[in-house]
């Protein structure tokens, strides 16, 4: 009976600590968001996120397509002049130039978030090697050595698995 009583306490303690951890994570996230929006970099990140989000929607493509169609339709009106061509060339160049920075910002943010999530999983896994948690900080040579080491481990694991399968198949056949 003592075990039955202690289990609900542990569950209650775990649910309280889980709720507290969730609350701490939420408040940390809110403080990061509120603190980062006050800087120029934070404002750029927010604007870049919003623009990247909307540029990835079908309506953005349709709007760009409509602009090109209107531009092409006005060709005869302007006699397909150099100025008419310059309008679309300049417009697309400017949009492309600005979008490069937005895409790079989005990629950097996504890569950093992914690395943080993977690092957390590696650190949380009991049997994982924590040296992988900061692999993004290694030099190219160190990454290549680590890759080769893991490739060798994978090949030896594959060999062991194939050996087990062959033994199992042999056992079934006899």
User: What was the pLDDT predicted at 135?
Assistant: 83
DSSP secondary structure letter of residue 174: -
Instruction: Pull the structure tokens for residue 67.
Output: 């602009």
Q: How many CA atoms lie within 13 A of 37 on its CB side?
A: 9
pLDDT the model gives residue 16? 43
Q: Using an 8 Å Cβ cutoff, are 88 and 138 in contact? A: no
**pLDDT given at position 143:** 87
Looking at residue 2, what is its pLDDT?
41
pLDDT (tens place) for every residue of the chain, 174 residues total: 343 433 333 333 434 444 454 455 455 445 445 445 579 988 988 899 899 999 999 999 999 999 999 999 999 999 999 999 999 999 999 999 999 999 999 999 899 889 888 888 888 887 778 777 788 888 888 888 988 988 898 888 888 899 999 999 988 887
pLDDT of residue 6: 37
What span, in angstroms and rounded, lies between the C-alpha atoms of 144 and 150?
10
Structure tokens at 23: 């609350």
């Amino acid at each position: 009976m003592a075990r039955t009583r202690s289990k609900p306490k542990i569950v209650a303690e775990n649910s309280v600590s889980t709720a507290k951890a969730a609350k701490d994570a939420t408040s940390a996230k809110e403080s990061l968001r509120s603190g980062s929006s006050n800087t120029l970099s934070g404002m750029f990140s927010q604007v870049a996120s919003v623009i990247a989000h909307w540029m990835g929607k079908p309506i953005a493509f349709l709007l760009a397509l409509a602009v090109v169609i209107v531009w092409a339709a006005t060709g005869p009106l302007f006699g397909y002049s150099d100025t008419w061509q310059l309008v679309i060339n300049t417009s697309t160049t400017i949009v492309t130039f600005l979008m490069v920075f937005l895409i790079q910002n989005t990629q950097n943010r996504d890569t950093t978030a992914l690395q943080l999530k993977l690092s957390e999983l590696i650190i949380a896994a009991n049997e994982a090697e924590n040296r992988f948690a900061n692999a993004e900080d290694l030099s190219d040579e160190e990454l290549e050595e680590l890759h080769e080491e893991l490739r060798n481990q994978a090949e030896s694991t594959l060999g062991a698995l194939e050996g087990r399968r062959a033994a199992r198949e042999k056992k079934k056949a006899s």
